[in-house]
Amino acid sequence: MGLVREARCDRAEKVRQVFENRQIEAHETLVQLDEIANVCVEAEEERQKLDVDENTFANQFLSLQDA
């Protein structure tokens, strides 16, 4: 699994746990999960445009987020 995908899965799992613990409502949970899904789709489209493998893209993507 690529680093970006793994990070998004971790974020989605945290959202699920917060919802399960009743700290946020169903609507807010769906909004947050939809945002995560959109980022995943956009990242994959960008990776394909750049024609790089998942690891190369993940390293570039994560280094930009850290900046």
Q: How many angstroms separate the CA atoms of 62 and 2, rounded?
A: 11
In this prediction, residue 6 carries a pLDDT of 72
Domain, as residue range, for 51: 3-66
* In contact, 54 and 4? CB cutoff 8 Å: yes
pTM reported for the whole predicted model: 0.65
- By C-alpha distance, which of 6, 48, 11 is closest to 33? 11
Q: Count how many domains the chain has.
A: 1
In this prediction, residue 67 carries a pLDDT of 56
Q: For every one of its 67 residues, what pLDDT tens digit does the chain have, with 9 covering 90 and above?
A: 566 667 777 888 888 888 888 888 888 888 998 998 898 888 889 889 999 998 888 887 777 666 5
In this prediction, residue 34 carries a pLDDT of 92
Q: How many angstroms separate the CA atoms of 25 and 12, rounded?
A: 15
